[in-house]
Amino acid sequence: MSDSPQTQRAEDVEATPAPDSGPATDATDPVGDAPVDAPAESAWESPAQPAPPRGTPSAAGPRVSFGFNLEKIAGQGEDSDPVVRHGRELGLVAVFDGMGGAGGTVYETAEGPRTGAYLASRVARDVVEQRMVALLDPEWNLDGAAAAQDLQRSVRAALQERLAELKAPASGLRSRLLRALPTTMALAALQRHEPGGDRWTCHLLWAGDSRAYVFQPGAGARQLTVDDIRDRGDAMANLREDSVVSNAMSADTEFVVHHRKVELTAPFLVTAATDGCFGYVPSPMHFEHLVLAALRDAPDTDGWSAAVQATVSAVTGDDAAMATLGVGADHDGFQKLFAQRTAELERRWITPLDDLDTELREQERKLTELRAAQRERQAALWAAYKPGYEEYQ
C-alpha cells in the first residue's frame, strides 16, 4: 500500500481488487455461517455491464466511489489510505487514524523512522480489509457483534506481532495517555437485502473518534458512530473541546470494537472520515455542506473528490482521510437528488452562521481598533497630567 496521498474513484464500476493474502484469524469463523477459508473475492467482482444513462437513479449496487488520504507532512501522515470496496450486493468503506499524541514513539523500520501512530493505522487497515472481505458475503447475513469481536482479536494480535518485530526497548515513561501502536477505526459495511433491491443493511464497526455518516436525499447527513471520548458532548460541543480519546485500538491496552446496524434504502451516500475532515469546520452543518456543495459543483466524481480535498486541506490542522460510496444513482443522479438539500442547508444554516461569523470578525476588528485608540488616548492624557502629578518626586 502506498504511503502517499491517493484518490480512488469508480463510477459505474462494481469491484476493486483486494490483497491476495489470507484471513488473519483461526480456522473457525465466529461470524455467520461462512468458513474463513472460503474465498470471498468473487462477491466483490462481477462481469462488466453497460452503464445506464448518466443521471438515472437506479437500484444498482454502489456506482460512485472515491477515497483520499491527505498528509500534512509528506511521507509522515498518520492516517492510512482508506478502504473503498464494492460489489453488486456489497459495499465497504473504512478509515484509520493513527493517534500521534498517544502513539508518538518513533521506531526504526526498514523504510526509516516511523511513529507508532503511522505504523498502527496501516497494520489495522490491512488486517481489517482482509477480514471484512472474507466475512462479507451476499449469501448470508453478517453477525455484526461477532464480527466486532473478530476484528478486535485480529487487530490486537497483528499490532502485538508488529510491536514485537520492532524490538523497541521498553519506555521509562508511565502515562495513561501513552499507548503502543494506537489507532482509531470507523467502518461501514453494506449488504443488500435481496438481489437488485433497494434495501440495505449497514453494519457500523468502530473504535475511537473517527466517524461514519450516511447522507440521504431530503434528510441530509446522519452520524452513524458514537465518538469514544472521555468528555462526551454532542457534535457541536466536540468541535469546541479537545477531549481525550477513551477507546482506541492498540497493542498494549484493552479496547472494544463497537457494533451497531441500521437499515437504509437506496439512494444514499455512506462516508467514513477521520477527524481531520470534520474536526476543523465551524459546525456539523458545515461538514455536510462541504461534501454536498462539492458534489453540486463538480462535473464528475473525480472533480467531486478533488473539491472535497481542496476544502478540507484549506481548513484542517491534521492529516485527513475519507472514503465514500454512493448507492442507487450515478454522479449526475446524486447531484439532482441532493440539490434541494444543499440549497436548504445554505438557506437555513450555512448562510446565517457565516453571516454571524462575518459580523463577529468585523466587531472584533473594530474592538481591536478601539483598544488601540484607547491606549493612544490614555498615553496622551497621562502625558498631560503627569508633570503636576510627579511635581514632588
Does some domain include residue 360?
Answer: no
In a domain, 322, yes or no: yes
Q: Does residue 281 lie in a domain region?
A: yes
Give residue 195's pLDDT. Answer: 87
Which domain does 269 fall in, by range? 7-352
CATH number at residue 78: 3.60.40.10
pLDDT at 41 (0 to 100): 60
Q: Rounded to an integer, what distance in angstroms lies between the CA atom of residue 101 and that of residue 117?
A: 8
Enumerate residues 6+ apart whose C-beta is below 8 A from 240. Answer: none
pLDDT at 320: 98
The whole-angstrom separation of Cα 123 and Cα 208 is: 16
Identify whether 377 is part of a domain: no
Q: What is the pLDDT of residue 4?
A: 39
Does residue 124 lie in a domain region? yes
Residue 366 lies in a domain: no
| 369 assigned to some structural domain | no
Domain count across the chain: 1
Residue 59 lies in a domain: yes
E strands present in 110-230: 112-115, 185-192, 199-207, 211-216, 220-223
Which phi and psi angles does 162 have, rounded to 5°? -65, -40
Q: What letter would DSSP give residue 334?
A: H
Q: Decide: 97 and 225 in contact? Cβ < 8 Å.
A: no
What is the pLDDT tens value at each position of the chain, 393 positions in all?
Answer: 333 334 444 433 333 333 333 333 333 333 433 333 444 566 774 333 334 455 444 456 788 999 999 999 998 999 999 999 999 899 999 999 999 766 678 999 988 999 999 999 999 999 999 999 999 998 889 999 999 999 999 999 999 999 999 987 655 544 555 789 999 999 999 999 998 899 999 999 999 999 999 999 999 999 999 999 998 778 998 888 878 999 999 999 999 999 999 999 999 999 999 999 999 999 999 999 999 999 999 999 999 999 999 999 999 999 999 999 999 999 999 999 999 999 999 999 999 999 999 999 999 999 999 999 999 999 999 999 999 999 999
* CA angle, residues 134, 124, 93, in degrees to nearest 5: 60
